[in-house]
Amino acid sequence: MAAITPRSMFEKIWDNHTVAKDENSGEALLFVDRLILTDTSSFHAFDHLRAASYPVRHPKKIFGEPDHFAASRGATLADVADEERRTLVHALGENCAEFGLTHFGLGDPRMGISHVVAPEQGITLPGLFLLCGDSHTSTHGALGALAFGIGGQTAHIMATQCIWQRPLKNMRVSVEGLRAPGVTAKDVILAIINRLGPAGGFGHVIEYAGSAIRAMSVEERLTVCNMSIEAGARSGMIAPDETTIAYIQGRPFAPFGEQWDKAVAYWKTLPSDEDTRFDHELTLDASTLSPMVSWGNTAADVVPVTGHVPDPATESNTDRRSSMERALDYMGLKPGTAMRDLTVDQVFIGSCTNGRIEDLRAAAAVVTKARGQKARVPALVVPGSGLVKAQAEREGLDRIFKAAGFDWGHPGCSMCVGTNGDTVAAGKRCVSTSNRNFVGRQGAGSRTHLASPATAAASALTGRVTDVREFMQGDI
């Protein structure tokens, strides 16, 4: 009897969804369990279906969630930034209604960022293959799903509920040990990306493992998997465990009754086999990590908040040196500058990376510790969904923020993408809890410093890049 080859969690899900395979190229035709549509480009897919007279193959497996163009200043269509974006938000609702798809529209209390809404609704489940046009679909892997962005292939998936994909490699990133106070999941993933580089995960699915990952809540795991794409990976995943199961149970779209028992039994078979061999491995010691902040234009360009802007002259790789020089010129920074000496012009707390209730609690806790201090720069807090907003308001978090001079917004992507009226002006510096600090990401000429919600809140209160541990020690 032939020995059974150990498989990773990614390989198990891939194999379970393979409908057909091209033996020459290795490409597989995969069945898609969930497809999420947003307001940015889904109208093209619907136009293609109409032109070809194709129906949607599995309407109950597809969900529409307007988020990129949703306005933080109001919850109605009239609040959307301009006529073109209003048209696209409206079109998503009309198209979902025409084709019989579930739609979480602007008037729905459940609406919000797709990568926040789907997990909290139980749409995202372990073992599923989930796709969305947005690159940060990797977020959903935190629940043990295989998930990634698919760009312009939406119409094909809607018509066939399948997609052709090239084979991917396996990478395991293990984070062991205990995090020090003030070190968040955002700091962990920024440290990982710094080690891997902006393309270190290219062609891979990253499985996050280790005691520090297992100790995280699901919301923290969502933050980690969300930013996998910033290391160039196709997706990020975390094996389902009791924490995952407890999070999912009772959510609206989750299984129940006998189906729940069967689902849990299946989920417990998903973790990678003990002897699985990964193409690449990386291990980090969580106890050595500090709060992180970015200085350049990729999420790999980070240093501890107590660190300094790096000097390109010390970089031996000429391409990397040129990249660093361009980044420093764009960011208006000089080598050797202490990060904590940087004054900031505004702060954003939100996004699919850090717009969940635990993120808002962490930021509010810093404001509370400041004992009446007010924000010294404009600071905007935007919940990731209507349910997060309602929960935060029940807990009084909105009142904490408002009392300290922070603005409290309506759910959506907001300043993370800068396409909805929330932007950073040219040459201005913003500490942001979002996932990207690309050139012009938050507005033409904007300068973005990625950080955790706690670091962002502390920076709003001081008007400079701030080590949140100053507040924890009472040294304000």
Sequential pLDDT tens for the chain (476 residues): 556 899 999 999 999 999 999 999 999 999 999 999 999 978 999 999 999 999 999 999 999 999 999 999 999 999 998 999 999 999 999 999 999 999 999 999 999 999 999 999 999 999 999 999 999 999 999 999 999 999 789 999 999 999 999 999 999 999 999 999 999 999 999 999 999 999 999 999 999 999 999 999 999 999 999 999 999 999 999 999 999 999 999 999 999 999 999 999 999 999 999 999 999 999 999 999 999 999 999 999 999 999 999 999 999 999 999 999 999 999 999 999 999 999 999 999 999 999 999 999 999 999 999 999 999 999 999 999 999 999 999 999 999 999 999 999 999 999 999 999 999 999 999 999 999 999 999 999 999 999 999 999 999 999 999 999 999 874 43
User: Looking at residue 475, what is its pLDDT?
Assistant: 42
pTM of the model: 0.97
Give the pLDDT score at 2: 59
Examine residue 49 and state whether it is found in any structural domain, yes or no: yes
Domain boundary among 281, 315, 341: 281
Instruction: Answer yes or no: is 410 within a domain.
Output: yes
- 354 and 205, same structural domain? no
Q: Write down which residue in 244, 259, 281 finishes a domain.
A: 281
Same domain, yes or no: 346 and 235: no
CATH code (residue 215): 3.30.499.10
Same domain, 191 and 307: no
The pLDDT value given to residue 416? 97
**Is residue 221 domain-shared with residue 308, that is, in the same domain?**
no
- Name the residue range of residue 404's domain: 291-472
Q: Are residues 387 and 353 in the same domain?
A: yes
Q: What is the pLDDT of residue 476?
A: 37
Examine residue 286 and state whether it is found in any structural domain, yes or no: no
Check whether residue 241 and residue 301 sit in a common domain: no
Residue 330: other Cβ atoms inside 10 A: 15
Same domain as 308, residue 253: no
